[in-house]
Chain A
């Protein structure tokens, strides 16, 4: 069965960096685009970034463009989110998710990132 397991969350000071990882299993990872979506405490869902199945294209939300970088390592079935220059407003649960032709079909359990001094 499809499994997505995020790791790397934690408490970080404003302006610092953090890298999230998402280990995928149960499907042919190299055939799927992968997304990161976040949810601030008590708030709705906000899409963050996507990487194409072959890594050829990447797109970002305006709020993270220039600060966050999505990447993938198909040899490890893992997608990453490098987050630099973190701000308090980046505090959220970050979900790794598998792309579908019309949406996002499988989600990880999420990892909490707290940006606070």
Chain B
């Protein structure tokens, strides 16, 4: 199985800050990577697919990059509604696997 490792596990940031989250795959997955946002008590929301493609309706302050084993999710200017937990997920092969999550907290 492909292991997905996210870092950091949590980050404290202020509104307006640039936030970067890293995700590393245990083996190459090309660009088969997705990112999700989850708020407490809610289902995850699909943000980015194919490593860098923004899902329809997702604000442009979110961006993704990377290929192979190393990927990043960047929020260019953090907004109040962005405080949440973010997960990466590889879609290269079954079983699908998620990273452990990164909680973005208010500083």
Binding site for B on A (CB under 8 A): 35, 44-47, 50, 59-62, 95, 100-110
- Of all chain B residues, the one with the shortest Cβ separation from A35 is B96
Tell me which of A47, A106, A107, A110 contacts B96 (CB under 8 A): A47
With contact pairs A44-B87, A45-B87, A62-B1 given, residues A103 and B95 touching in the complex (Cβ less than 8 Å): no
Check if A103 sits within 8 Å of B98, measured CB to CB: no
Interface residue SS majority, chain B: loop
Which residues of chain A are within 8 angstroms of B55 by Cβ–Cβ distance?
Answer: 105
Q: How many residues of B contact A (CB 8 A)?
A: 27
Binding site for A on B (CB under 8 A): 1, 31-34, 36, 38, 42-46, 49-50, 53, 55, 87, 89, 91, 94-101
Q: In whole Å, how far is B25's beta carbon from the nearest beta carbon of chain A?
A: 14
- Of all chain A residues, the one with the shortest Cβ separation from B96 is A47
A62 to B95, CA, bound (A): 8
